[in-house]
Structure 1
Amino acid sequence: MSVVNLPKAVENFVAANNAHDSEALFAVFADGATIRDDGKTYVAEADIRGWFQSHLIAPKVVITPTSFDGDRLVASSDGDFPGGPLNFAFTFATKDDLVTDLTIAAA
């Protein structure tokens, strides 16, 4: 498997997610960051933390990057959910090595 070079903010997101560390994951996001997933938008800290818990931490999701181009990470995601592994596209906006916006869609 080839190594996918990632910007620091994206690398930190993948590492914190794969460690299942919600505090480290939250630290990757800038104040006022936005997450878009499953047709919903999460902005408030409590909503973002809830999304982490239900979508990443509880199902023990592990993200394996397969490509990165521009601002788009394509990755295989597996965990305690039916049908996995599944491929997702994570589109990031970043500033100062922090995620300011994340949109997730099936790839």
Structure 2
Amino acid sequence: MTLPVNQLSDPAVRAFVTALNANDEPGLFEVLTPGATMSDDGSERDVRQWLDREVFASRGHMDVESEADGGRALVARYRNDTWGEMRTKWVFTVDGGKVSRFETGQA
């Protein structure tokens, strides 16, 4: 089962997923705080480089299966043109209504 993005509980996470799925680069960076950080499978990554490679250049898309922690923890089927589809987990830190950190990896 997939949760509709417009029903995700946390507004910042909802905006993040909406922009990611629309391949909306300005919109995605708008929802991130300046200096936002991230990790992928436990390894720290440069946010801009990772998003360019894993989302924008490869048409990333997430179908959210479930949420927890007030909408700041997601399990989603993530797919892009590079890796195909995989089940992933996403954990978001939100400060002042924007995402200051996200961690992703295989679920």
TM-score, normalized by the shorter chain, greater than 0.5: yes
Q: Which residue matches 1:91? A: 91
What TM-score, normalized to structure 2? 0.84
How far apart are 1:39 and its partner, in Å?
4.2
Moved over 4 A (4+): none
Query: What runs of 5+ residues in structure 1 fail to find an aligned partner?
Result: none
**What is the letter of the counterpart of residue 85 of structure 2?**
P
- Give the Cα–Cα distance (whole angstroms) in 2 for the partners of residues 16 and 62 of structure 1: 10
Q: Which residue matches 1:81? A: 82
- Give the Cα–Cα distance (whole angstroms) in 1 for the partners of residues 10 and 68 of structure 2: 10
Does structure 1 residue 7 correspond to structure 2 residue 13?
Answer: no
Q: Is the 8 A contact 1:75 1:89 kept in 2?
A: yes
Does structure 1 residue 21 correspond to structure 2 residue 24?
Answer: yes
Q: Deviations over 1:12-51 (max 9, x none)?
A: 1111101112111111111221111144323xxxx32221
Q: Is the 8 A contact 2:92 2:103 kept in 1?
A: yes
What TM-score, normalized to structure 1? 0.84
Q: Which residue matches 2:50? A: 51
Partner-residue secondary structure (3-state), 1:87 = strand
Q: What's the Cα RMSD here?
A: 1.7
Q: Deviations over 1:39-92 (max 9, x none)?
A: 4323xxxx322211101111101111110000311111122124x321110001
The count of residues paired between Structure 1 and Structure 2 equals 102
Percent same amino acid among aligned pairs? 30
